[in-house]
A and B are shown apart, each in its own frame.
Chain A
Amino acid sequence: MTHPNRFNSSQITKKRILFVTVGSTLFPALTNLILSSNILSFLSQSMTELVVQYGQGDPDCSNLTKVHQSLSVRSLDTEGQSERIMKTGLSKKSEGMEKVGKENGEEEYEYEGMRIKMFRYTNEFSEMIKESDYVVSHAGSGSILSVLRSRKPLLVIPNQTLMDDHQSELAYELSKHGYLLVTSVDNLLQGLERLLNLSPNTLEPFPEQDRTAFKNILDDTAGYT
């Protein structure tokens, strides 16, 4: 079966990057599934690069061919991702020194011609989003906002194992307004098909921050009216 997104040899030189992020959270259902041969085969038909931020997970890379491992320090993020600092600290303590390389470094693999970069944390979250063509994210509001503001096509996979699952509410509400796509872990493949086949301008552009609304609320409460 030929997929509509399959590239011919002249197009393959153009980079097409899919960024999959679970922020600083533990979401093995997504990080393991994305590295299953089923999903990878599908992605390698149309993507040249897959970037995975696996957060606190320890994904199984047995399907992949190792290319390179750099030890560049990419810990401590700046914006939008919850509880990063604390959890970096915790996991470093609990896992000991032998994991430090994997902790901060970026590993590179290959699968059927598609390059796969994997890392736990990044300082350059917004830059990574800007460089990518499509984003798959957990339902964290910080990650969702960053991606929508960068105007990248976004597929959100809520983590249904969370106790207080208000996060998926946000994702489903925003998808109702057409700003993003949302699906469950079980329907990841169909979700990816929808994401990669989106025609331009299908998703609503997310509005920029309203720079007067909060200012007015504060001025009003403080008595400047």
Chain B
Amino acid sequence: MWLSYLSLVSIVIPALFALRVYLLIRYRDQKPKRQAGETCSLGVFLGSGGHTAEMVALLSTIDLERYTPRVYVYCWGDEMSLRAISTIESSRYSTENSTQPSYSRIAFPRARKVGQSWFSTILTTIRTLFHVIWYTFLVPLTQPRKPWVDVLLVNGPGTCVVLVLVCWIRRILGLSYTRIIYVESFARVRSLSLSGKLLRPFVDTFVVQWPSAGGKGTTYKGWLV
């Protein structure tokens, strides 16, 4: 009797889980159809330093009124990203009459600092995971049919992997589907960054800025920043 329980726990459940992940990767959700006037909620991860600088450049080109509301995710103590949010949002007020802020901010502890050892990275990543699960999974669970955000935009570094992971928990459970875009840095000419390599199979649109960086299945439309 206990043997069949053990086999259920150790073989059947992981197998079903792997099958579910495989099917989700293999057969992507049908791309939604949105009317030109519809809004779409957007999550943006600001990864500090050069990552944030590139993200500001990317967001400077998009229609902020269409991508409403916006949620900015950044790491504790990252003042540069905080300033970046006000830079992005202040450009909006000049063109829009509404004074109501159509964005919110969430701060997480950083999953991995530059040069951190792999063992302590595991611990800090788990801490980040709890925060991310709370804010992007448990709190939005009160409205399970509405996604945390419709589209999530990330460009590294490590901490954004946790955000993508939590979007995948929702996918695996069959809850609302957040489409994910990863934009590899302009600095990556011939190889992907570590977070790029990790996330490539798990995002809906993987963008590179040099044709030699990505290869098959990646989107290349020239330099974006």
Answer whether residue B216 sits at the interface, using C-beta atoms and an 8 A cutoff.
Answer: no
Answer whether residue A200 sits at the interface, using C-beta atoms and an 8 A cutoff.
Answer: no
Residue interface bits B143-183, CB-to-A below 8 A is 1, else 0: 00000001101000000000000000000000000010101
Chain B residues with CB below 8 A from A81, complex form = 49-50, 53
Residue interface bits B38-75, CB-to-A below 8 A is 1, else 0: 10100000001110010011101111001100000000
Q: Which of A83, A140, A166, A223 contacts B114 (CB 8 A)?
A: A83
Chain A residues with CB below 8 A from B53, complex form = 79-81, 142
Among B50, B60, B186, B224, which residue has the most Cβ atoms of chain A within 10 A? B50
Answer whether residue A85 sits at the interface, using C-beta atoms and an 8 A cutoff.
Answer: yes
> Are A209 and B61 within 8 A (Cβ)?
yes
User: What does DSSP make chain A's interface, helix, strand, loop or mixed?
Assistant: helix
Q: How far is the CA of A83 from the CA of B223 in the complex (A)?
A: 23
Answer whether residue A167 sits at the interface, using C-beta atoms and an 8 A cutoff.
Answer: yes
Answer whether residue B36 sits at the interface, using C-beta atoms and an 8 A cutoff.
Answer: yes
Answer whether residue A173 sits at the interface, using C-beta atoms and an 8 A cutoff.
Answer: yes
User: What does DSSP make chain B's interface, helix, strand, loop or mixed?
Assistant: loop
Q: Which of B34, B50, B58, B222 contacts A224 (CB 8 A)?
A: B34
Which stretch of A42-50, A104-112, A186-194, A212-220 is in the interface? Answer: A212-220
> Are B79 and A85 within 8 A (Cβ)?
yes
Q: How far is the CA of A86 from the CA of B51 in the complex (A)?
A: 14
Chain B residues with CB below 8 A from A97, complex form = none
> Are A83 and B204 within 8 A (Cβ)?
no
> Are A222 and B221 within 8 A (Cβ)?
no
